[in-house]
Amino acid sequence: MSDRFRRVERGLAAVVAALPLAYLLTERSWSPVIWNYSATLVAAIVIYAVFYALLWASYGWRLPSLVEQLRSNAVVLAFGLLLAFLAADAGLAVIDDRPNVETKNLRGYAPDPDTGYVYIPNYEQDVVTLESATHWHSNSLGIRADRDYGPKPAGVVRILALGDSFTVNTAVEARDTWPGVLERLLAKSPSESTFEVVNGGHAGYGTSNMLWWYEKYALGLNPDMVLMAMTPNDITDNGNKQPGTLTAVDGYLASVGSTTLDRQRFEHRQRWYSLPGRLERSRLKALVSGALAANAQGPTLAACHINPDANEQRLFALTEDYLLKIRDLAARQGASFGLLLITFQEQLGEMAPGYSGTAFGERWTKFAREHGIAVVDTYPMLRKHSGQPPLYWRWDGHYTAEGSRVAGAAAFDLVSAIRSQAPAQH
């Protein structure tokens, strides 16, 4: 090996072998004992630092030619893989049109022993996604509203909307959620009554969480009507025992068992110098993760399965039980009940063999009518839409203001059907 090639190889080795060390040094462990590092991470750093020092020193030693050849091959291969990764990521950056926006998640969650989590009362924050910027405001009950709901005034018809993230929808302003659209449509309708629509949606709630929240927090609202907006992934969520698998940590929505250290590690990975964070956010990783997710059976597919398996049948039975309990709880308050079936964007496109975009709506429309429940499926109305303006945010996946407008119109038909005691038709 010539001295010149040895110097070049040594330089490549210094760069390539330094990256794993940089990865370890810019990581933060879940249980740090020394600065950001756990005992395991400290040991890994020390061991790798010794290896790095030995690799650097080996270029000054006289080694057997076979060992030098193996070292040379390893360095060249590692450097080639690094260049391939950088080139692929740079190429994907050219064709990837995701906006370069610093997002800001809602930090307005509080843990709750019965429902898993609720929203912090009287909390304000700007929420930023890749495509939207909205203002969040909760009232004293902890629901998304800019005012409190006291005793119901005479002549007011109060409607409680239960649902998940498609109902509360932080990706649009409060007035552009489907409950907000519904309230405006009712205000324009010829009626002697004044309508008040309370948005009781909570991101991540299944039908079970809606029941637990209604029992604990919303009975005092004394609604005249309860509308439950059910999405396909509610079916899977309902398989979790009370209070569910999600909670709040330091104001953020998180999995049960998460700690402040988990949150700090997450925030640490957002720093510019965190190599683990940069790899996690790389476009190449996003491409691979997206491909794997596309081949996996998600909660939407489970709800749209034409021939559900035994576990899906079990989840359907649980959902039926929770739905009827909400209906009966509303009835004990003298409130009417209706079911609004929310459509995911995936349902409007081509689905995998054995699945159908209409299966979710058909199943729950049939169940509702068998039990005397007024129901409207948003699928037909969304299907008729021309696609402009778009119904769903491209990267967020929830309704845009236009999607909420269509869902709000479907909810208006549902309210009309309940008030006339006749099934809604589309």
| pLDDT tens column, 129-179 | 999 999 999 999 999 999 999 899 999 999 999 999 999 999 999 999 999
Distance from C-alpha of 31 to C-alpha of 257, rounded to nearest angstrom: 14
Q: Can you give the pLDDT at residue 421?
A: 78
Using one digit for the tens of pLDDT, what is the confidence trace for 103-135?
999 999 999 999 999 999 999 999 999 999 999
pLDDT, averaged across the chain: 92
Alpha-carbon dihedral 315, 321, 322, 325, rounded to 10 degrees: 180
Q: Is the pLDDT assigned to residue 297 strictly greater than 60?
A: no
Q: Can you give the pLDDT at residue 1?
A: 54
Give the containing element (helix H, strand E) for 116. Answer: strand 116-119
Query: Which candidate, 141, 310, 126, places its Cα nearest to that of 219?
Result: 141
Query: Which candidate, 233, 232, 196, places its Cα nearest to that of 362?
Result: 232
3-class secondary-structure state, position 377: strand
Q: Can you give the pLDDT at residue 424?
A: 44
Identify the band that residue 30 occupies on the pLDDT scale cut at 50, 70 and 90.
Answer: confident
Distances, alpha carbon 229 to alpha carbons 75, 131, 264, 324, 378, in Å: 57, 24, 34, 14, 10
Q: Which region among 106-115, 260-269, 296-305 has the lowest average model confidence (pLDDT)?
A: 296-305
Query: Which candidate, 312, 308, 360, places its Cα nearest to that of 339?
Result: 360
Identify the band that residue 423 occupies on the pLDDT scale cut at 50, 70 and 90.
Answer: very low
Identify the band that residue 96 occupies on the pLDDT scale cut at 50, 70 and 90.
Answer: confident
Distance from C-alpha of 74 to C-alpha of 69, rounded to nearest angstrom: 9
Exposure of 266 in the CB half-sphere (CA atoms within 13 A): 12
Mean pLDDT score, 36-53: 95
Tell me the residue type at 375. Answer: V
Which pTM does this prediction carry? 0.88
Domains in the chain, please, with CATH? 3-95 (no CATH), 109-420 (3.40.50.1110)
